[in-house]
Amino acid sequence: MKPSQSEFIEIRGVRLHCRVWGPAGAPRLFLLHGNQDVSASWQFTVDALQRDWRVIAPDWRGYGLSGWSGADTYWYPDYLGDLHGLLEHHSPEEPVRLVGHSMGANIGALYSGVAPHRVARFVNVDGFGPPASRQDPAPRRIAKWLMQLGEDTAQRPYDSFEEFALRMGSENPRLTEARARFLVEHWGREAPEGGVVRRADPAHKRINPLPVPYAEQLECWRQTTASVLWIDGEQSGLWARLQARPQEFDERMGAYADLRIAHVPEAGHNIHHDQPERLAALIEDFLAG
């Protein structure tokens, strides 16, 4: 495995952890992880990159080795603010190469539209957003959030890292035993009361009572000037769900002036776990193009 180092940056009152690979003088590449994930999940993709990169992958606030916000809910504007601070720290003048998976891709997609001058190229890995119909009406969503405020959101404990790895393997049969073990060593931590729990603030399990509406997401995407590559895992089901809504599918496809699409076989939603070699090749071909 390619060695990485940890860097910590104070951004907007939270100590954010970044995992960094590669020589300091190499071109910078920023990798954004998804929900209930951590920056170390990019290890397999980084290992497969063929050229030298200075890869910078943050743990979002409340995940991995980053600090928790202290709030009872996490908000997308905070992720956008953290990303902006991170890019201003590492690349204050040069537009960046940005890759995001799932939630990280949705954050990257919004940022690419609201700060188009800061993004040179953007790779969206299986994160083209949920169907518009899945957003509950505001009264129902806010009421659900209020109810969750009084509920126990504690992370599910596992007896050991071995049990955690077995659970991950059962949920994703494409995940090798070695990769599952590597991931849980970074996803999990030993709990004071015994067992292993995720390195994630339990507040992440509460819904966001005020999501970015679908129409406003589209408006952000339309402001993007960067070339965009959308990569989907053929077994993730996202592409099929989007195509089942033709009007919405056309709106998403038409939001970008320069959109390329690639499908990765034998991969589900977590393409960076299932087919990291193919993912790395697609990313590098796109960035060189």
Q: Which residues contact 279 (CB under 8 A, 6 or more apart)?
A: 45, 48, 125, 231, 264, 271, 272
Is 17 domain-assigned?
Answer: yes
Structure tokens at 141: 């969503």
Q: Is 170 within the bounds of a domain?
A: no
Q: Which residues, 6 or more positions from 160, have their beta carbon under 8 angstroms from its beta carbon?
A: 195, 196
What are the tokens at 62?
């409340």
Give the chain's domain count: 1
Task: Convert the pLDDT of each residue in 63-92 to its tens digit.
Answer: 999 999 999 999 889 999 999 999 999 999
Instruction: Kindly report the pTM of this predicted structure.
Output: 0.96
pLDDT in tens, 240-286: 888 888 888 899 999 999 999 999 999 999 999 999 999 999 999 99
User: pLDDT-based confidence at 133, cuts 50/70/90?
Assistant: low
Residue 224 included in any domain: yes
Quote the tokens at residue 151. Answer: 């509920």
Q: Say if 276 falls within a structural domain.
A: yes
Angle 161-171/177-187 helices, nearest 10 degrees? 120
Candidates 270, 139, 143; CA nearest to 206 is 143
Residue 60: DSSP 8-state: P
Whether 149 is covered by a domain: the verdict is: no
Q: Which domain holds residue 104?
A: 4-136+212-288
Angle at 109 between CA 99 and CA 139, to 5 degrees: 135
The gap between the terminal CA atoms of the chain, to the nearest Å, is 27
- Residue whose C-alpha is closest to residue 47's, from 273, 261, 289, 286: 273
Check which CATH number belongs to the domain holding 17 and give it.
Answer: 3.40.50.1820
